[in-house]
Structure 1
Amino acid sequence: MQPQSVMPWSVRCVVFDLDGLMIDSEPLFEESARRLLARRGVALQRTVLCAMMGTPARQALQVFRDGHGLTETVEELRIESSQLFHEILGEERVKLLPGVVELLERLEKKGIPRAIATSSSRRYLERVLTPYGLLEHFAFSLTCDDVTHGKPHPEIYKKAAARFDQSAAEMVVLEDSPNGLRAAKAAGARCVIVPHALVPLDDLEGADAIVSNLLAPELLQLLQV
């Protein structure tokens, strides 16, 4: 996958999404959704799953409910899906995706500040990253608990730029979903996509670059790390 430009960017800060970019959590969400639907004799629609990606839980569950024609309330689905997710997760670590640690080290050596902006909760963020000791490598993190509007609304990325005291135009966002891409671009940031397998490339129009992984040579060149 090639970026639209191979000229290095002026990068003052980098913001990481969490699910599907840093950690391999999407299969866990998919399996919990599949089990919830199986109890009702309903097949999982992968297009619905894709539309949910990158959005806060309640917003995602509304899409899930409508897309599968369910009659339960969003709150009822939230409780049931949360129970299923944590049963699947158990006591295991959620796996880091390739290149996360190495890219953080490269950015750190260059003195480029880093942050996390996720649609997940702070409790969940700490649950999945604390075992790896990664939170200390970020200047700050923003979660769904810190915003009124979730992705694809740009609020979380506008807040990130403000926290860095930088122009969004000099902030690079690393994302894996169309909703995250829309949020980043609406905030005025550059956005690099490492697409999830569920995401059709046609849904990623407007990305400043699309790369195969976090250590792709073209990404390292753009970030000058």
Structure 2
Amino acid sequence: MTFQAIAWDVDGTLVDSEPLHHRALLWACAQYGLDLSQIPEARFCGVHIHDVWQALRAELPADLHKETWLQAIETYYHAHSGEIQAMPGCPHTLRQLAAGGIKQACVSNSSRAVVEASLRALGVLDLIAVIITLDDVQNGKPDPEPYRRAVEALGLPADAVLAVEDSPTGVASARAAGLHVAFCGNADVPTAGVTKVNTLTQLLSWF
């Protein structure tokens, strides 16, 4: 398989940020009287933040605005972005692809501020030509809209772009948009149009 561009998921694929996302959510909710300390870290993994808000809305103060709550999450995330760790092989793989002239996009269910903070922390923000976040779409993953937007921005047909994902939610989004998926997660996902990879550096041979 050979591709002309790559579309990366961010959280759990490029950066080991899920623990920080979890702590940011717990901290923000605690500011408004909601103790989530007993929920498992995986509870909202891969779920876009507006759906998290809907799931928790009834337990938060009635007069709390979503934008205020989101800002609290982002404030914590930014303050602790130095704790973000790259997934194995991440910076090297992105730099090698960039050196080879391969266009790269990031497609995420996080906000643009959070995505850019993560990429900046890894020193790879300047390597990404296209960033599609939850701020840019009406419907996040698993809807195909985020990947369709990325493909349009890259100016390529969907089958020329490889998606890299670590969650079933992301796989569903990319496949519905017509992309082949390199899957680096541990969950069970459909096998059609999906190739399991163990390391990000494996992807270099696909370009």
Q: How far apart are 1:172 and its partner, in Å?
A: 0.3
- The reply on whether 1:211 has 2:187 as its aligned counterpart is no
Q: TM-score, normalised by structure 2?
A: 0.81
AA at the equivalent of 1:20: G
Structure 2: gaps of 5 or more residues: none
Q: Which moved more, 1:17-26 or 1:104-113?
A: 104-113
Percent identity over paired residues: 25
Asked which structure has the greater RCO (Cα within 8 Å, sep 6+), the reply is 1
Counterpart-to-counterpart distance in 2, 1:16 and 1:188 = 15
Deviations 1:103-145 (A, max 9, x none): 1122123322111111222222222323444222122211112
Counterpart-to-counterpart distance in 2, 1:141 and 1:41 = 33
Q: Which moved more, 1:92-101 or 1:153-162?
A: 92-101
- The reply on whether 1:70 has 2:65 as its aligned counterpart is no
Identify if the C-alpha distance between structure 1 residues 92 and 126 changes in structure 2 by more than 3 Å, giving closer, same or farther: closer
State the aligned residue count.
202
Output the aligned Cα RMSD.
Answer: 2.9
Q: Which moved more, 1:116-125 or 1:11-20?
A: 116-125
Identify if the C-alpha distance between structure 1 residues 82 and 145 changes in structure 2 by more than 3 Å, giving closer, same or farther: closer
- The reply on whether 1:188 has 2:178 as its aligned counterpart is yes
Q: TM-score, normalised by structure 1?
A: 0.75
Runs of 4+ in 1 over 6 A off after TM superposition: none
User: Hey, what does 1:12 align to over in structure 2?
Assistant: 4
Secondary structure at 1:209's aligned position in 2? strand
Secondary structure at 1:201's aligned position in 2? coil
- Contact 1:121/1:144 (CA < 8 Å) preserved in 2? yes
Counterpart-to-counterpart distance in 1, 2:35 and 2:127 = 44
Secondary structure at 1:192's aligned position in 2? strand
Equivalent position to 2:44, from 45, 49, 52: 49
User: Hey, what does 1:4 align to over in structure 2?
Assistant: none
Counterpart-to-counterpart distance in 1, 2:137 and 2:158 = 17
Q: Which moved more, 1:206-215 or 1:95-104?
A: 206-215
